[in-house]
Amino acid sequence: MSADGDRDWERELVRELAREALQERRRTRRWNVFFRLLLFSYVIVVSWLLWQGGDWEGEWAGEHTAVVAIRGLIADGAGANARDVIAGLRDAFEDDGTRGVILRINSPGGSAVQSALVHDEILRLREEHPDVPVVAVVTDAAASGAYYIAVAAEKIYANRASIVGSIGVRLDSFGLVGTLNKLGMERRLFTAGRHKGFLDPFLPLEPEEVAHVKDLLKDVHRQFIEAVKKGRGDRLTDDPALFSGLFWTGREALELGLIDGFADEATVAREVIGVERTREFTHRRDWWERLGERLGTALADRLEERLFPGRLR
């Protein structure tokens, strides 16, 4: 065999080995992609099932007592916000297997607006579904805005040691008048409108503005009191401290007519609603929803900066 023939044979062998190696890499890459997709799908499915509270039976769960939790601070953007709580309530009422709804409450209160939105929606759903009872069950606390929500239920149960009440309204502020002068600093505030600097912590209080704030708080307090009286009716005692903003233990709350008795969630489901089996309907935003909301908010802020650079706040 000639030298040229040897070189041709060697080149062909090298090409064949290179082709085989390339094909093997492609096969390996395809299998890697396949297994990664399979693993990703598995994680998504398991996460979704866990996110649903382990409810593997889904819509075939049969008769149940629906549970919607109101936990923590009630505020827009917080865990207990009106949008999510209302979404859970609507899902619970619209489910064919729901025979009653428990509001599992453990909250110190929060926004009057968010609380009123949930309260009003419960009343609307009760009217739309008269055969589905709504019962509030208090664990550690149902104070202020949380109690505002609770009175929309037909009955309220708690533990003897639960904290209940705080039927009042507050506005937090602070004063730093003269602080900047002591630090050798000068505050410069420009406004259009006599009261635009209303309640500025670096300015002295104006009697007219203080009176205005107190009127606002009294109006919201009146709305709160009206909701409690409408929800509790003649079960309330005629105690002058009832709407003072004080709160009580569950034992004292029962004496005042703020609750109907002592019971936990399981007891209420079994003995009050009559269906022992419970199903969780508390709305939890998945990560897609949270990501979309954050991106949407960021985009909206960016557009607003572009379109309205001198916008008023």
- Contact yes or no for 70/109 (Cβ under 8 A): no
Q: How confident is the model at residue 130 (pLDDT cuts 50, 70, 90)?
A: very high
pLDDT at 23: 76
pLDDT at 56: 45
Range 58-171+204-282: architecture per CATH: Alpha-Beta Complex (3.90)
Supply φ then ψ for residue 300, to 5 degrees.
-65, -40
For 53-66, write each residue's pLDDT tens digit.
444 444 445 899 99
Give the pLDDT mean for 133-142.
97
**Residue-level pLDDT at 42:** 66
**pLDDT tens for each residue of 225-266:** 999 999 999 999 999 899 999 999 999 999 999 999 999 999
- CA nearest neighbour of 138 among 113, 114, 166, 111: 166
Residue showing tokens 């996460």: 47
pLDDT bracket for residue 5 (50, 70, 90)? low
- pLDDT tens, 192-212? 777 776 677 767 677 887 788
pLDDT value at position 127?
96
> Would you state the pLDDT for residue 310?
41
Q: Using one digit for the tens of pLDDT, what is the confidence trace for 236-246?
A: 999 989 999 99
Would you kindly state where each structural domain of the chain is located, as residue ranges?
A: 1-51, 58-171+204-282, 283-313
Q: Which residue do the tokens 């062909």 mark?
A: 12
> Average pLDDT of the chain?
81
Amino acid at 143: A
Angle of helix 82-94 relative to helix 112-128, nearest 10 degrees?
Answer: 10
Q: What is the pLDDT of residue 309?
A: 45
Mean pLDDT check: name the lowest of 46-50, 106-110, 125-129, 146-150: 46-50
pLDDT tens readout for residues 270-313 = 999 999 999 999 987 654 454 444 555 555 555 555 544 443 33
**pLDDT band (50, 70, 90) for residue 176:** low
